[in-house]
Amino acid sequence: MKNILSPVLNSGKIKRLYILGIICVFSSCVTQRQIEYLQQQDPKVKEYVNNNFQDYSLKPNDELYIQISSLDDASATIFSNSGNQNIGNLNAYGASLMSHTIDKDGYLELPVIGKILVKDKTVAQISTLIKESLVNVLSQPIVSVKLVNRYISVLGEVSNPGHFVYAQDKLSIFDALGLAGDITDYGNRKTVILIRNENGQNIRQELNLLDANLLASDFYFLRPNDIIYVKPMSNKFWGLRQFPFAIVLSSITTTILVLNYVKNN
């Protein structure tokens, strides 16, 4: 028995295999520095000044939910698809059905008022513009305008990738990731891709979520229809995540112990 096992034991192949297994385990591990958001190089820095957030400029095919009311409610209802329906009681699909769509030339058409140019204007500017147009038509008009198509897409190495609707005026990159259930342990937080369409051109921007300077970036707050793609880390491509390391290493360890026992006895 000893003569049969000696070549195996002396060659050290099993020991090398054991060491290789340990190396594979550590190569698949994810360290804290790879997943910790907003790391600071200078702990004395506590404030990050974000550039002035510019309100979203409307574009063709954007959908606007418009609610108009006045002292004469009966007359005001003709200006709104929704009548007195509150947008807070509607889901995204219902609000879309009751919205007004900006045409390809950037115009919005309303009853009585007619066509008004809204391209590149903000929601607040449109609200003021409509209100001024109704001063001589309604008694003390009140105009509320909301952008319906506030969507964000989060793809890649996140817990719940998908297409999400949001209501707030300002949505940060971390808010978007929160909607998607956060990045998984194997998501590359150092290179997150942001895709944004501006003036008919698609912009690709890489974001480093590990760097606290992101808080002062122009891309910290997202825009409607932005796409976030979280790349996987190279560790995942080894296919090690589901590999039964505990069983394999336990088997190798047991084999070495048995062979050593046989050799010494």
Query: In the 8-state DSSP scheme, what is residue 148?
Result: S
Q: How many residues does the chain have?
A: 265
DSSP assignment of 162-194, as one string? EEEE--SS-EEHHHHHHHTT-B-TTEEEEEEEE
The whole-number pLDDT of residue 188 equals 93
Given 95, 112, 147, which residue is the final one in a domain? 147
CA dist 99 and 97 (Å) reads: 6
Measured in Å, how far apart are the chain's first and last C-alpha atoms? 10
Q: CATH number, domain at 118?
A: 3.30.1950.10
- Could you give the 3-state DSSP secondary structure of residue 142? strand
Number of domains in the chain: 3
In terms of C-beta density within 10 A (0-12 exposed, 13-18 middle, 19 or more buried), how is residue 21 classed? middle
| Per-residue pLDDT tens listing for the chain (265 residues) | 445 445 544 555 555 555 555 555 545 566 666 777 878 766 666 676 766 778 899 999 999 988 888 877 666 666 655 444 555 555 555 566 678 999 999 999 988 889 999 999 999 999 999 999 888 888 888 898 989 888 999 999 999 999 999 988 889 999 999 999 999 988 999 999 999 988 788 999 999 999 988 988 889 999 999 999 999 987 655 554 555 555 666 666 676 666 666 666 6
CA dist 26 and 29 (Å) reads: 5
Decide if 131 contacts 147 (C-beta within 8 A).
no
The whole-number pLDDT of residue 140 equals 86
Parent domain of 259: 2-30+238-264
Q: CATH number, domain at 187?
A: 3.10.560.10
The whole-number pLDDT of residue 9 equals 47
Do 84 and 137 reside in the same domain of the chain? yes
CA dist 65 and 223 (Å) reads: 18
Do 103 and 143 reside in the same domain of the chain? yes
In terms of C-beta density within 10 A (0-12 exposed, 13-18 middle, 19 or more buried), how is residue 123 classed? buried
Measuring CA to CA, how many Å separate 79 from each of 99, 142, 147, 256?
11, 12, 17, 83
The whole-number pLDDT of residue 83 equals 45
Decide if 141 contacts 76 (C-beta within 8 A).
yes
Do 159 and 226 reside in the same domain of the chain? yes
Amino acid at 12: G
Do 248 and 184 reside in the same domain of the chain? no
For residue 58, being part of any structural domain is answered with no
Given 130, 147, 164, which residue is the final one in a domain? 147
The whole-number pLDDT of residue 84 equals 46
The whole-number pLDDT of residue 19 equals 57
- DSSP H or E run through 152: strand 151-156
